[in-house]
Structure 1
């Protein structure tokens, strides 16, 4: 499972770079300033989640602990939910979708905190 978290973390990073490039080149002339800012936020936080998950995956390979696995899942799912909803709103999805966004952020925060807690218990 640790290698899956590591691989998906790397995948999230690749998607984040692609999303950032897509926003800068394909969406820059199609979105208003606020929507483009939202798109950039989505790409940035997907990168944070991906890098965090990759780091957790590396730690989980070195020191197998359930806490690392749950932290990685929180970062992956949280990054997907947060960035997915923010990116969708940037592209014109209904604003009520923003009510789901904080759940993704909370999962990411929980993932980072669990990562720290598990690391301190090594």
Structure 2
């Protein structure tokens, strides 16, 4: 099994950041800020896990590698955009959040395509 170590490291750092954001949201943020940070942290953590799965995917191929990086980067961009809105009062970052969201959606679609191709190749 080949492991993409750089993707594992990036995903792990994303996971750590997501937990930090979530903890701050739970213990140190006001209600409106809390909601934005919590949403960002949830998506970032979920997509850090997706990236880890892609990093160790048994039938690694280009689609899975791209999906892993899109998931991790998309989760990070989404969380950072929401954090900038909440903590820095930068509402213009609302235009950046959908970029991260689109990256996460594409990651999921690439995983589905890769899984279907793997299944077809094994049939």
State TM-score, norm by structure 2: 0.86
Match of 1:63 in 2: 59
- Where does structure 2 lack aligned partners over 5 or more consecutive residues? 119-123
Q: Secondary structure at 1:121's aligned position in 2?
A: helix
State TM-score, norm by structure 1: 0.87
Q: How far apart, CA to CA, are the structure 2 residues paired with 1:64 and 1:45?
A: 24
Residue deviations 1:28-75 (CA, integer Å, cap 9, x gap): xxx2x222101111111111110111111110xx22201111101111
Give the aligned length: 116
1:49 corresponds to 2:47: yes
**Mapping 1:1-122, distance limit 5 Å:** 2-27=4-29, 31=30, 33-59=31-57, 62-122=58-118
Q: How far apart, CA to CA, are the structure 1 residues paired with 2:23 and 2:61?
A: 36
Q: How far apart, CA to CA, are the structure 2 residues paired with 1:11 and 1:96?
A: 26
Cα RMSD after superposing both structures: 1.4
4+ residue stretches of structure 1 with deviation over 6 A?
A: none
Q: How far apart, CA to CA, are the structure 2 residues paired with 1:11 and 1:63?
A: 24
Q: How far apart, CA to CA, are the structure 1 residues paired with 2:23 and 2:92?
A: 27
Q: How far apart, CA to CA, are the structure 2 residues paired with 1:72 and 1:21?
A: 25
Q: Secondary structure at 1:91's aligned position in 2?
A: helix
Q: How far apart, CA to CA, are the structure 2 residues paired with 1:94 and 1:85?
A: 9
